Structure 1
Amino acid sequence: MVPMLYPLLRQFFFALDPEVAHGIGMTGVELLRATGASCLLASPVPPDPVSVMGLSFPNPVGLAAGLDKNGEHVDALAALGFGFIEIGTVTPRPQPGNPRPRMFRIPDRQAIINRMGFNNDGVDRLLANVAAARFPRQGGVLGINIGKNFDTPIERAADDYLFCLERVYGAASYVAVNISSPNTRNLRDLQQDAALDSLLGSLKVAQARLADRHGRYVPLALKIAPDLDESQVRAIADLLRRHRIDAVIATNTTVTRVGVEGRPHADEAGGLSGAPLLALSTAIVRQLAVALAGELPIIGVGGIMSGADAAARIAAGASLVQFYTGFIYRGPDLVGEAAAAIARQRQA
């Protein structure tokens, strides 16, 4: 019943504007949780505990940032079996994001192009939502993804990241630093050597100070783009090791259009996600795995649309996986499928 139900729902959702469909879908997920009926959409997820970044995950399959930007649906999403939930990207101040329309489906390629632009209600609203959620209080692993406001000059970007880190530290299991969205002007400039070196140094100083204040260490993960060459990947890996960053999330969306050429909406500005990103993101994970030589874990995200994709990402060098677009196209059943595929691979 579970694999058959979501494709019918998807036909309804895909007839709507993507953002309208998102709002209705999240309302539906909340209703299923409230009535104890989440099992109607999600198959049971096999336990497959793993320890990464010093945190204990019940399974290695997580929800990527972007689906729940304001942390409004943490408990409902956790009920679908995710081993961890990442919310955000959140910025210091609320901002509306880019003008609509700003999200476009390419169904025959299982892809989405978005130029959302970090639309969110600000860090204080996110923290109020997290405080009301049961999942983190019950030991669930909750990542909070932080970014900069669109109108903060790039040379002052560190101020926004440090502000958000200070605010979310006490509520997060780990903090993801998003410097790789293509939809905030100049943001990816922070991946360049000198800028990244400075940012990571500032974040690690703040992390040490906050660990002393809160009496617990909250790991930092850096989220990078897929549109990097091997020399850039090696340079980033060197900085991650030097600054003792706790993990790297690979990857964000791509500005390339390989795999969707000539399709409706393919020329829209924004980041491409979904199946066309699979090979590119997996290649970055492989390059990171070689460059890092096991010194810090990799969280693999991008193009995961099946259990086989998830297992392949682990085989490429990731310790955990996440998806967002796969969740839109495949539904909650992908969580259990991915967890089962990874568990079988580990037992083989």
Structure 2
Amino acid sequence: ALRADVQATIDFIKENILTNVDNVRPGKVDALEAAVEAAQTLVDDPDASADELKAANKAMTKAAQELWEIVSKAELNALIEAANGYLDGNYTAESLEALQTAIEAAQAAANNDDATTAEVTEAITSLANAIAGLESIKLDTSALAHEIELVTEMVANIGNYVPSTVEGLQDKLADAQAAMNATTQEEIDAATATLREARLNARTKADVSALEEIIAYANSLNLAGYTAESRNMLDRTIVAVKRVLADPEATQEKVDQAVQTMQTAIDSLQPVEDSAGSTNADTTNTAAAAQTAAFAGMLAVSAAAILLVNRRRRQAK
């Protein structure tokens, strides 16, 4: 009767339990199958004792009762997905390493169909703690902010600069402002260097006030008493220096040279002589000489002013 009871237990388990274990922990199913196989071996052994048969029946009963369902991993899987999103964040290496370790442990629990409720709960808790323990890296944007301040002022007065030296400056400023929200110090430092280079490569336009004054002076001269050749030379010089005046890319050196060229052309005006050896431009010459002397004084003042402005610019840099 005992042997028959054990066989009946085996048959019931095979027909009614092992056929419905889709959502049961695999390890528990394996344990039940092993218990059934061991029991069948004893049933088939005519020399098996009653105690052995009873023990086999007890083992099958225990294994059948421990056919626990697989623990739900929905919450754990959702947390793992969220945790992976933090790995690209701006956090210290140590805290990211701790998070990576917690993710790997949690993933192992999620992949383990035999994981207990306690193991899954522990994995969730550990992963949540690792996320909470992430330490943000403190980024230094002070230098970038200072460069932005300097270049913002330059852009507000962009007309004061040689166009070719500030080309694209507004775009570079916008890029630098966006970099204030960068997530790495490397990005911030690179933006700072780019804006600094743009600032230092900018050049202010030349001071053309002296050139404007000498052109106006030349145009005011009464040239009736001077030779056609010297008048033509002056006219050509005026045309040439006006091109310098209109050139936004003209350097201060080029402008100063144009002033000197203009002065030389004025000084080179030749009076017309009549048959008696006197000039028709005696009166004009006297007036022109006085004007030239006065303008020379004006140029000296202008030159001193230019030197002072340039010195202040260098000090400002």
* TM-score range for the pair, normalised by the shorter chain length: under 0.3
Higher relative contact order (CA 8 A, sep 6+): 1
| TM-score, length of structure 1 as denominator length | 0.15
TM-score normalised per structure 2: 0.16
Structure with higher Rg: it is 2
Greater strand proportion? 1
